Structure 1
Amino acid sequence: MSRDLRAITFSKTAAEQILRNETDTRTLLSEYPEYKEEVLLEINALSSQKRANLIHNLLASYTSSAKIAKSKIFKSGFNQTTINAFLPNIIKARFAIYLIEQLQLAVSAESASGPVRFNLWDGYILQKLLFKEKLVRKPVSLPLFRVCWKLIIRPKVLMPLVNKQGIYCFYSRTLIKRLSALIGDKACLEIGAGDGTLTRFLNDNGTACQATDDYSWAHYITYPEFVEKADAKAALSKYAPKVVLCSWPVPGNPYEKHVFNTESVELYIVIGTRDPAITGDFDAYNKAKHFSMELNEELSRLLVPPSEDNAVYLFTRKRDSTHSR
């Protein structure tokens, strides 16, 4: 028999760990299965309405609820009544994001027909082409990729499979060289760095960059030691970078806005997609009045696999702008 949701009491320690993303989603799922069932019922009820942009609206709703809950708990000084009342909204938001991700992966990989995996031919070619070893990515040779990609029997299987490991794109050698040229010798910071692949490639190419991440995706990603644990706001304050990078930022995220509010930043480079429901805080992009926004088509074509949705955005601080907090 499931517990009465109203009767669940959370310790202050448990609340702090959840708020700091120190408790991964799978652990939360096992400890609070009742909330998973509640989220599934809510998603099912909203899905039956067949509204446009359903996934985007669902994520926005849960994310908004979680932000309000987090603010209430902090302002209360971790008052027990407030924790019990609002922490479930944060847990449910974590569940919703996780479950929706799993649903999207299942649909895109057509997993309903059985486990999806590479055949030996595709697996061998892609391993040699994209990875240094196992799932450790390497800069991709564009000429070689263009030849080998034509030989892949099931190209649509690649991204749904690697998405499960927090991999959303591959970087060509040419892209890394172009990014290095843009950055030059300026102080560079990557936020939301994940496994740090982009920073690693830049450093190997002679461009100094510091990788940071808040480790909130530990259920997908194994974070290497060189990726410093820090949220975007703290990292920007600590390093005062002139150039900031972010690859595949979460849609409607709460952290990109801090880039535009950091006085030291002269250039912000975003690697993602053209779809606001998949990557990026486009609300923050549109409000960044001190920066000019450019969708660089040339750089976008240097991401692999090729897709019309691939996008590299360059946000350049306007010379005559004066930053105000």
Structure 2
Amino acid sequence: MTTDYSTLIDEETWAFIERTNSFYPPDAIELSIAQQREVYDTMCRGFFAGYPEAVSATDHFIDARDRKIPIRIYNKRDVEPEAICLYFHGGGFVVGGLESHDDVCAELCDGTGFRVISVDYRLAPEHLHPSAFRDCLAAFEHVAATSDLPIVLCGDSAGGNLAAAVAHHVRRHERAPIGQVLIYPGLGGATDQGSYVTHAEAPMLTTRDTLYYFKVRGGGFNWSTDPRFAPLNDPDFTDLPATVVISAECDPLSDDGRHYRDKILAAGGRAIWNNEPGLVHAYLRARHSVERARSSFRRIVTAVHLLGQGRWPGQL
């Protein structure tokens, strides 16, 4: 089944897609891991939008049992934060870090007034699953132990997967997150049906790409029944925090968001799912050039802000 993206995707978004692709060779997943990271980092620098004037950031380390985990803490000048947003970056569990989502986190801090903490978790294939999950869990435990502020989990793509995995794991912790905002997350849905088929050849991310990244992260082992790897396959969806999932319509991962919302609702929880019309995977980097992405980013900031205040967004 093929999808006609010429009618779904507007000119602004096509310009973003073309600009992104200009950094990449035709089949980037054939590159070595080191080359993929170099290209991705160069692309992220090309889109870097700087910091809002009132936001500053400092780098720190969390002492985990076997390593130090780098984090970056963002604060807004003259604002007492009401909550902490713990942010896990995207990049297929293979690329990305503190720099790749630096400006996104700074703008999230500016828009909410919250303290934002970005986590530089370990990447595959050097560190296979569950290494990234363990780092994100350690970051949550550190924040929970060192602050009394409410915690909102947030992440995009691979980071959305990690945020959900942590939310499932710590749902009955005395400092459990008050909310989670998942941005075009890959949550472990069946790749032979739904959006994985109708958007198998979507611009920016294909179903083949998702299979590649899951294989690299898992070291070729089938982890699909492990909720730390595929939160959508957790048999228990009770007691999860208030959840907002925001997907891109033109993205093989979009149905993961829909199914995740449905499972939370079926378990008696609170969840909403926005499937952003005409947007593509990784559109956060388009938030300054594409009106649809700009509007979606405002919804993301609003969701984080309201959840951190213990309020329910309802419709975004």
Query: Would you call these one fold, judging by a TM-score over 0.5?
Result: no
Report which of the two structures shows the higher radius of gyration computed on alpha carbons: 1
Q: Structure 2 length as normaliser, TM-score?
A: 0.29
Greater fraction helix? 1
Greater fraction strand? 2
